[in-house]
Amino acid sequence: MTILDMKANTAMQLLSSFAAATFLAGGLAAQSGDLVIEAGRIITQAGDDIEDGVIVIQNGRITAVGTADEVEKPWDAPVIGGPEFVAFPGFVEAHSDQGLDRSNRNENVDVAPFLDIRDSIDPVGYFFEDCLRYGITTVNVQQGANCVIGARGMVVRPVGMTVEEMMVRPAFGLKISASPKSRNSRATQMQKLRQTFEDLQRYLDDLVEKERDERGQAEREALYQGRELEGEEAKGRAMEGLAWTVGGLELVPRGAIDVQQRPLLDLVEGRVPVFFYCGAPADVPNALEIARANGFLARTTLVIDESCWRAADLIAEAGVPVVLDGDLVDVRRDPITGEEEETFVPGVLLEKGIRFALSSSDPNTHSLWYQAALATGLGMERQAALDAVTTIPAEIIGMGNDVGSIEQGKQGNVVLLSGDPLSITSWVEHVVIEGVPVYDRSEDVRNKQLLDGTQPPGTAAATEGPEGAGHEHDDVSGDEDDQDEGQADEDQDDEEEDR
């Protein structure tokens, strides 16, 4: 067996082992969603902690939660957990551009709201595997920030071998960036944003005028493009914009509106959540201006870099929530004294009364639990830190009634930990999504190999091989070193272009 054969065999073994360990073969829809979870402590995020607690999940939703002596457990439901575990609601990632094929994290087309992120999601990407390891059960995947107006996003559960199995909310949210796209100045970025909505208004005015001159023109154009109008799509509706409207739009069947303009119309009418990226304090007033001028401020969440705390007063005045996409501490050097000045960003946001969610600054080493733990270490109150990775991000993505806490009626998303969720010594032992166990640390092949060197069954160590293979291994390693250096150069170029 050659070195390349052994590497391919190892990769296939790891993938198949992880798929089996997380019960992905049949998908969540094929599971009953009935489960009883027992825990020595339940952190509900909906009130006081419960000692010696029980959670009952039926048909994917929590039907009862309380102490063991007050909750009746269904006799036929499987039971997991025990007194040594801490139960915690799944972490919620309010915004991430991870989990996509590399070429589509940032969109080359300046204005692309007609694209759908679901076409770029990679179900077997390591990011979603890591989400389960770190107890993240809900992820809002959005376009990368190097865009003007990006694709429609999607809320997913990090489980499934197909996009359909992962899907929670398709076509959810729209990514806009106030921060200049590569090779754009800030003035150019703003000009493109303003021009986009001016073009939309002109397009709608022209559409209404043509329809008044020649009834049925819009429908005939749609049929010419191969789009048959049925049901609600064949009906017109007056424009509902909060900032500006186009009179007479009720004459035009909604399905006849160009597919490239329709998402922008939905945006102006306030039906689409917006995730507006700001990479510098100067971007904040620009983002708020665009949102106000086009009537979607109430549906806007700012995704901010750590430096944007300097615009906290403007954010607080606008009343919009925030996802902190950068570091927790902003470090600046005083231009006069040369001394470093550190600002704890969540502290400023809390002081200004801004609702904010934390995000994973790195999907595998600085996940949500790490960010929340670090925030408490830097002075943030424990409950505020936990809220910033559970209930608040759930509300930001419009799922506050479904996820973010353990209470009756919500989805059965529960993480069982070996200790406190903010302790560095705690492990995620089990993850349950909608009542289905999807992760078991004892079956995590990669963890075993990393921590104790356990070789996956059926695979050979890279140093093993037939007699005389040592020289061949040296040759292959030399080639791979050259390839790795070339790949590193390509990755560096890609990262510089992304920035």
Helix/strand/coil (H/E/C) assignment for every residue in the chain: CCHHHHHHHHHHHHHHHHHHHCCCCCCHHHCCCCEEEEEEEECCCCCCCEEEEEEEEECCEEEEEEECCCCCCCCCCCEEEEEEEEEEECEEEEEECCCECHHHCCCCCCECCCCEHHHCECCCCHHHHHHHHCCEEEEEECCCCCCCEEEEEEEECCCCCCHHHHEEEEEEEEEEECCCCCCCCHHHHHHHHHHHHHHHHHHHHHHHHHHHHCCCHHHHHHHHCCCCCCHHHHCECCCCCCCCCCCCHHHCEHHHCCCCCHHHHHHHCCCCCEEEEECCCCHHHHHHHHHHHCCCHHHEEEEECHHHHHHHHHHHHHCCCEEECCCCEEEEECCCCCCEEEEEHHHHHHHCCCCEEECCCECCCECHHHHHHHHHHCCCCHHHHHHCCCHHHHHHCCCCCCCCCCCCCCECCEEEECCCCCCCCCCEEEEEECCEEEEEHHHCHHHHHHHHCCCCCCCCCCCCCCCCHHHHHHHHHHHHHHHHHHHHHHHHHHHHHHC
| Strand duo 136-141 + 274-278: pairing | unpaired
Least confident of 17-21, 26-30, 236-240: 17-21
pTM for the whole structure = 0.84
Tens-place pLDDT, residues 224-271: 456 666 677 678 889 999 999 999 998 888 878 888 899 999 999 999
What is the residue type of 148? Answer: V
Query: Which of 90-104, 182-196, 316-330 is the least confident region?
Result: 90-104
**pLDDT 10s digits, 381-410:** 999 999 999 999 999 999 999 999 999 999
pLDDT of residue 211: 77
Separation of alpha carbons 2 and 264, rounded Å? 54
Q: Quote the pLDDT of residue 11.
A: 44
pLDDT of residue 196: 96
Choose between 52 and 466: higher pLDDT: 52
Position 321 confidence tier, pLDDT thresholds 50, 70, 90: very high
Ordered by where they begin, the domains of the chain are 28-90+404-445 (2.30.40.10), 93-177 (no CATH)
Q: What φ, ψ does residue 359 adopt, rounded to 5°?
A: -135, 160
Is residue 475's pLDDT more than 50?
A: no
Distance, C-alpha 377 to centroid of its chain: 25
